[in-house]
Amino acid sequence: ADPDPLQDFCVGILNSTSTSLNGFPCKPAFQVTSDDFFFDGLSKEGNTDNVFGFSVTPGNVLAFPGLNTLGLSMNRVDYAPGGMNPPHSHPRATESGVVIKGKLFVGFVTTDNKFYSKVLTAGQMFVVPRGLVHFQMNVGKGKALTFTAFNSHLPGAIVLPTTLFASTPPIPNDVLTKTFQVEASVIDGIKTKFGA
Ligand code: GLV
Ligand code: MN
């Protein structure tokens, strides 16, 4: 979904103070080395010790600046037993993924509110069309692991529970009580779970 590149590569300078554009400015070619095109960040298991029992390790342009302008990126996602990647969407990319380990319940909902889902095991692949809300849940006995790929160097993630209940500043309770047709105490209870 990203625009086409205008040169072979444009290794991103993430901390440029002089230039800002759609993407990141390019490191001068004479400073580019092999190391700019390799990334070790997805080799280690993430820490799943959180309320959801999962961990996303991003391999996007912010972590791996060699991806700048190339229109793709990857994540590593680790799941504790029973862990989940909660409902979220990527505004700038279609996602595809492959299960490396474990048994994963994967689903997304379309703009006309249809739910598509399947339980996948190692070696099996899934796709989530751009922008649609989706989740993955570990339904196996042990840990699960996936690698996901995106057609954007920075897909972005709108994570529904934190977007709605842990924004800064918070969305006022009267918006959320009306949205979900519940009492304020229910909203407060949810907000507390996310440390708001
Ligand atoms: C999985 O849904 C991911 O966003 O990596
Ligand atoms: Mn996703």
pLDDT, residue 46, reads 98
pLDDT, residue 21, reads 85
pLDDT at 194: 86
How high does pLDDT run on average in the chain? 96
| ipTM tops the 0.90 cut | yes
Is residue 77 lining ligand 1, measured as CB closer than 6 Å?
yes
- Could you read off the pLDDT of 95-111 as tens digits, one per residue? 999 999 999 999 999 99
**pLDDT computed for residue 19 by the predictor:** 79
pLDDT in tens, 48-71: 999 999 999 999 999 999 999 999
Residues of the chain with pLDDT > 70, as a percent, come to 99
pLDDT at 91: 98
67: which 2 tokens? 């991806």
80 - beta bridge partners? none
**Cβ(75) to ligand 1 under 6 A?**
yes
Residue 196's pLDDT is what?
Answer: 62
pLDDT value for 90: 98
Question: Whose alpha carbon is nearest atom 1 of ligand 1?
Answer: 148
- Provide CB contacts within 8 A for 144, sequence distance 6+: 78, 79, 83, 99, 101, 102, 103, 104, 138
Instruction: Please tell me the predicted confidence (pLDDT) of residue 180.
Output: 98
Ligand 1, residue 75: give the atom nearest the CA: 5
Q: Which one of 75, 89, 106, 138 would you pick to mutate in the ligand 1 pocket, going by the greatest count of ligand atoms within 8 A of its CB?
A: 75
CA distances (Å), 176 to each of 41, 157, 186, 187, 194, in order?
38, 21, 10, 7, 15
CA of 192 to the centre of ligand 1 (A): 25
| Residue 43 burial class via C-beta count within 10 angstroms: exposed 0-12, middle 13-18, buried 19 and up | exposed
CA of 127 to the centre of ligand 1 (A): 10
Res. 18: pLDDT tops 90: no
What pTM value is reported for the model?
0.94
The pLDDT, as a whole number, for residue 138 is 98
| Nearest Cα residue to atom 2 of ligand 1 | 135
Ranking 68-82, 92-106, 182-196 by mean pLDDT, the lowest is 182-196
User: What is the distance in A from the centroid of ligand 1 to the CA of 160?
Assistant: 13
Does residue 177 register a pLDDT over 70? yes
Closest CA to 14 of 32, 1, 30, 27: 27
Q: Is the C-beta atom of 148 inside 6 A of ligand 1?
A: yes
